[in-house]
Amino acid sequence: DDAKATEIIRAICTAMRPDSKLFIMDGIIAGQNQRDVAKDFDILMLGLFAGKHRTQNDFETMLSKVNLEISSITPTSFGISIIQTQIKKLK
């Protein structure tokens, strides 16, 4: 769930240096009414592990809570994406 995921990422974030990167490998759910392999995995995860599906916006919101931001997203052919994050830069 979001609370546990945020807690885990917060713990990792405290160990990060300013130039560190955190890579998250997960499915990013596509928009409504779009065919997506990540949605198939999502159904499996929800059924087996009470998992949580997230859109890109959901990831951005969760990461923002621990002062991280997405620097890139690389889709793979396996229905998951590699989400590269970094500590938010001051604007």
Q: 34 in helix, strand or coil?
A: coil
pLDDT reading at 12 higher than 90:
yes
What's the whole-number mean pLDDT along residues 63-91? 90
**Angle subtended at Cα 42 by Cα 24 and Cα 23, rounded to the nearest 5 degrees:** 5
User: Tell me: the pLDDT tens digits for 29-74?
Assistant: 766 666 666 666 666 666 666 666 788 999 999 999 999 999 999 9
Measure the CA–CA gap between 89 and 68, rounded to whole angstroms. 9
pLDDT reading at 21 higher than 70:
yes
What pLDDT score does 28 carry? 81
This prediction's pTM: 0.77
Place of tokens 């990540």: 38
Q: Given pLDDT bands bounded at 50, 70 and 90, which one contains residue 91?
A: low
Residue of higher predicted confidence among 39 and 5: 5
> Which residues does residue 69 pair with via DSSP β-bridges, in sequence order?
86
